[in-house]
Amino acid sequence: MLTPEQILADLKTDRVKKVILDSDMYAEVDDQYALAYCMGCDKIDLLSVSAAHFDDPGRFADIKDAMEMGYKEIFRVYDACGIPHDRYPAFKGAPNSIEKSGVIAPQDSPAAQNIIKTVKESDEIVYVLVTGPCTAVVSAYLMDSSIADNMCVLWLGAHCFDIPNCYVRECNLDGDYIAGKLLFNLDIPLLLIPCHGNGSINVVMKADDFLAIEGDSDGAKLYREIYPLQCTTKEKLSSLEKIMCDLEAPAIISMPDCVNLSIVTVPAISDTYRYIWDSTRRKILYADCPDNSRIIKDAIKSINNMLNKERK
């Protein structure tokens, strides 16, 4: 298994990093911006994209329907930006969570199989950016634990370790609570990107940031106008401030010093969604204190780079 020290040393190199984006696309709009960030960043070699399930009973009958809509959303982005569908192959995630299956067993899916295949065939570390429930990557490990020798998971999940009352329930952990517990407990190389506290919730795009997306292409209009209007009304657009947690994952690959990275002991998670501290548990990487200004600037630069490349 890769150690936190090995991963930290690799992150700090100038080598372009191989990345899989595993995202609950369509749950929010920050996933789509994270995808564009990955496609346009010169520090990222995006290998593939996975559609994860998510729970939104107000919009979808079940999590399978949500995953299917997220899968379609990937191609909506590709089509708007003029990107061939096979440039960044897309894979469907599991139609069910490990938790809802009722047994602690892998949920096989094209996404999980792709993770296994990609990691085992790679001659360097593959970074799996998980911006939704972690079902696919945990299932991949349960099916083939050898991938821990050549993979690091960056997961946006739970909350900062100093959160009051250690209460860590948030949407990605809640989307597959058992998978989240397993990710903490198993020997899966992990860089945790927590939310509340001094975490990813502090990554915010303002109206002027959206307006900095350049061009008249369908892709530019999608990112500059259409997606922002899913977050507010036209009358309030000029004062929009949108939390964009998912941008922190590609930002860490692009600029590891945009966050505070430390090696810490990973806690357990109780059945009541609270951290349980035990100094004998394994070590992981932990990211906090994101530099919002640098992250947003790099994200916009990368999105514009992606859009400009597709116009040529």
- pLDDT, residue 310, reads 61
Phi, psi of 288 (to 5 degrees): -145, 180
Residue 214 DSSP symbol: -
In whole angstroms, how far apart are CA 264 and each of 104, 190, 192, 235, 287? 26, 11, 10, 45, 10
What is the DSSP secondary structure assignment for residue 267, as one 8-state letter? P
Q: What is the pLDDT along the chain (312 residues), one digit of tens a residue?
A: 999 999 999 999 999 999 999 999 989 999 999 999 999 999 999 999 999 999 888 888 899 999 999 999 999 999 999 999 999 999 999 999 998 777 789 999 999 999 999 999 999 999 999 999 999 999 999 999 999 999 999 999 999 999 888 889 999 999 999 999 999 999 999 999 999 999 999 999 999 999 999 999 999 999 999 999 999 998 999 999 999 999 999 999 999 999 999 999 999 999 999 999 999 999 999 999 999 999 999 999 999 999 998 655
State the residue range of the domain holding 69. 4-311
Task: Provide DSSP, 110-165.
Answer: HHHHHHHHHHHH-SSPEEEEE-S--HHHHHHHHH-GGGGGSEEEEEE-S--TT-GG
Q: Apex CA 63: angle with CA 288 and CA 133, to 5°?
A: 20
| Total of domains in the chain | 1
CATH code of the domain containing 56: 3.90.245.10
The residue written with tokens 């630069």 in the block is: 301
Task: Say whether pTM exceeds 0.85.
Answer: yes
Distance CA 28, CA 248 (A): 15
